[in-house]
Structure 1
Amino acid sequence: MPDVTSAYRPGTPCWVDLAAPDQQGAIDFYSSVFGWTGEVGPPETGGYAVCHLNGKPVAGIMAAVPMGGQPAPPTVWTTYLAAADADATSQAVSDAGGTLLMPVMDVMTLGRMCIAADPTGAVFGVWQAVDFPGAGIVNEHGALIWNELNTTDRSAASAFYRAAFGVESAALEGAENYYALKVNDHAVGGMQPMSEQMPPDTPSHWLVYFSVADTDETVEKVTAAGGAALQQPFDMIAGRMAVVTDPQGATFAVINPKPMSQG
């Protein structure tokens, strides 16, 4: 079922958000492509917009502005991994060779979070839910369906996520050089070595996938709204997918999944 009715287990991707120079422009783009609803939030939240799909939270969009003396964040989608205790997890991240980029902080009464990078440079968030568990809908058109780590060092990444989050990795049957990331033996994401098709200076990164009913039609919507296709629609083991970028340069994937990948 697409509605999320139970808490996310530690190590499971539970939320995604985007930092964009033009926040309203990003809200308008994703609303036109996926049917989201959202608006710039109140000042006490820094204007953070929680976008909804079918009345349930699906993703966040914030303004990419300098904060606390730090430069504005890059225009990217960030994957957040669930944690039972953000402070303990941040320590585990450091102990496992990761780097804390933003220390643990309270987000009002919603939860506690931090931003970190794994030893290969891939940036991710940590989310300890209090009043806000994360995405309330997944695996449906316009909603999050998959989170994929593209890494320059698969062995180092595997060891890190196992040590910091208890996430195991295992070769995915039928997919060459692709690995499932598992929590309690349940696949919650994927991992693969950096593709040779990517520019040589591309850093390790988490790629966000949104489910769509028609990949080709969605790519047409993306380009019509000012985005671009980085990888045109193609058929693969889990369905028909494409990699695209929004008008401000944020990269994401869309996939019309085969029934077996809905889980």
Structure 2
Amino acid sequence: MSPQACKFVWYELMTSDSAAASAFYSQVVGWTAKDAGMPGMDYSLLSVGENQVAGLMALTQDMRAAGVPPCWVGYVGVADVDAQAQRILKAGGTLHMPPTDIPGVGRFASFADPQGASLSIFTGSSDEQPPQPPVGSPGTVGWHELMAVDGVKAWDFYAEQFGWQKKDAVDMGPAGVYQCFGGDGDAFGGMMTKMPEVPVPAWGFYFNVEAMGAAIERVKAGGGRVINGPMQVPGGSWIINALDPQGAIFSLVAEKN
């Protein structure tokens, strides 16, 4: 088990139309997009103020040929990508991308957990972390959520890999238990057994916005579609699950409706 709880450190949108996706999320979430200047690669950095939040890249021809759809991917920071990748394999996971260097940035690997949900791991070249906006600030990521084939088994896997700790457990009735998790402080995510209508196990990410009603109008105006919500969750926040115009699933969370 990791000596301390690992945290999500990056998020990446892989999309079929990077220019359109950039315009959509800039409008909906309030990000500004800037080309990363990576030679031979269509990659943009999405920021709120001076803080980089996520990356955006066009699906490559190989990805499209392999049937990879537009999607959001999360990166968990670990002490040693290579050693962590071996632990993931030993625990029944599968590597999509073996440990690979990003020159001047760090090293990453992409994997699927034993139930098929995809995630990435990352070790930075530097231990220095830029200052981050306060928790809950518009444009930041407010929650991480796994819909698993089996929530209990998924918890065992991730707790072993990343040292996550159980926080509140919410009884969802027929839907089962929603297990919140985090590190030494507050919870930063939750996981549960997915409902039958959820086609595949997957991680989802909630972006903070100021007010949900106005955000929903921006989603619709930009060509996106709300597929669940708005609904109020324990603690009082409002959430929606939605599709962007290219078909990637994303979620929003706000303190007020």
TM-score range, shorter chain: 0.7 to 0.9
Distance 2:114 2:129 in 1: 27
Distance 2:13 2:163 in 1: 26
Q: CA deviation at 1:10?
A: 5.1
Does 2:20 match 1:25? yes
For these two proteins, the number of residue pairs brought into alignment is 247
Q: CA deviation at 1:70?
A: 6.7
Q: Secondary structure at the match of 2:34?
A: coil
State the AA in 2 paired with 1:183. G
Distance 1:254 1:38 in 2: 19
Q: Secondary structure at the match of 2:139?
A: coil
Does 2:75 match 1:75? no
Match of 2:11 among 7, 16, 22: 16
Q: CA deviation at 1:135?
A: 9.2
Does 2:53 match 1:58? yes
Distance 1:49 1:181 in 2: 30
Q: Secondary structure at the match of 2:68?
A: coil
Structure 2: gaps spanning 5 or more residues: none
**Residue in structure 2 matched with residue 6 of structure 1 by the alignment:** none
Contact between 1:10 and 1:82, CA under 8 Å: does it hold in 2?
no
**Residue in structure 2 matched with residue 165 of structure 1 by the alignment:** 162
Alignment of 1:1-263 (within 5 A): 11-44=6-39, 46-67=41-62, 71=66, 73-131=68-126, 133=129, 136-137=132-133, 139-172=136-169, 177-184=177-184, 186-196=186-196, 198-199=197-198, 202-238=199-235, 239-257=237-255
Instruction: Check 1:175–1:186 CA distance in 2 against 1; reply closer, same or farther (3 A cut).
Output: farther
Distance 1:168 1:115 in 2: 23
Instruction: Check 1:104–1:219 CA distance in 2 against 1; reply closer, same or farther (3 A cut).
Output: same
State the AA in 2 paired with 1:126. I
Instruction: Check 1:244–1:48 CA distance in 2 against 1; reply closer, same or farther (3 A cut).
Output: same
Distance 1:79 1:237 in 2: 24
Distance 2:119 2:218 in 1: 28
Q: Secondary structure at the match of 2:160?
A: helix
Q: CA deviation at 1:43?
A: 4.3
Instruction: Check 1:74–1:82 CA distance in 2 against 1; reply closer, same or farther (3 A cut).
Output: same
Contact between 1:146 and 1:188, CA under 8 Å: does it hold in 2?
yes
Instruction: Check 1:68–1:153 CA distance in 2 against 1; reply closer, same or farther (3 A cut).
Output: closer
Q: CA deviation at 1:140?
A: 1.1
State the AA in 2 paired with 1:19. M
Q: CA deviation at 1:11?
A: 2.4
Q: CA deviation at 1:187?
A: 2.1
Q: CA deviation at 1:194?
A: 0.4
Instruction: Check 1:15–1:175 CA distance in 2 against 1; reply closer, same or farther (3 A cut).
Output: farther
Q: CA deviation at 1:185?
A: 6.1
State the AA in 2 paired with 1:211. N
Instruction: Check 1:136–1:23 CA distance in 2 against 1; reply closer, same or farther (3 A cut).
Output: farther
Distance 1:84 1:129 in 2: 9
Contact between 2:164 and 2:183, CA under 8 Å: does it hold in 1?
yes
Q: Deviations over 1:212-237 (max 9, x none)?
A: 11111101100100000101311121
